[in-house]
Amino acid sequence: MKLLWAPWRIQYIAGEREKGCFLCRIRREKKKDVENLVLWRGKTHFVVMNLYPYNNGHLMVASNRHVALLDSLSDEELLELMQLTVKCVQVLKKALRAQGVNAGFNLGLSAGAGLEDHLHFHIVPRWQGDTNFMPVLTDTKVISQQLQQTYEALKKAW
């Protein structure tokens, strides 16, 4: 039997859950953008890498306001959300040569939201053949690059 070593996952699996909203904390910690993997701060939203990604380069565009519903956003906020989504796709294609992208919201617990009360939009880069036997047979996903290396490549491309 071969072992897949992924020690960084234990923090997510067994670590204590952060009290309060981690996106609000990241929004407040402007001097810790590198540590928090923040790529960009706009007027109404910010772009942050997912600390526990579905795929290498998994990004989130998060509202600066702690709101849960799309209809809570103003027209200005909705426009910036979509503009930042377009920019994220461009950066993922440039920096990581993404061949495709899954993008969307998980609105509510029944839709898979891990954080249901702070609106955020997922942007997950995809490559031909990136879905293989690992997730199907072993419920394991292989992330091929360290988060900090991915952050540096995306920040440079931004």
- Is 120 catalytic? The answer is yes
Which of 51, 49, 76 has its CA nearest to residue 61? 49
Q: Report d(CA 6, CA 147) in Å as an integer.
A: 13
Q: Report d(CA 2, CA 100) in Å as an integer.
A: 31
Rounded to the nearest 10°, the torsion over CA 106, 112, 115, 117 is 60
In the set 45, 58, 120, 122, the catalytic residue is 120
H-only helix segments in the chain: 9-14, 22-28, 33-36, 75-96, 133-138, 147-157
With tokens 């690992």, the residue in question is 134
Task: Provide the residue type at 73 as one letter.
Answer: L
- The DSSP secondary-structure symbol of 32 reads G
Catalytic residues: 120
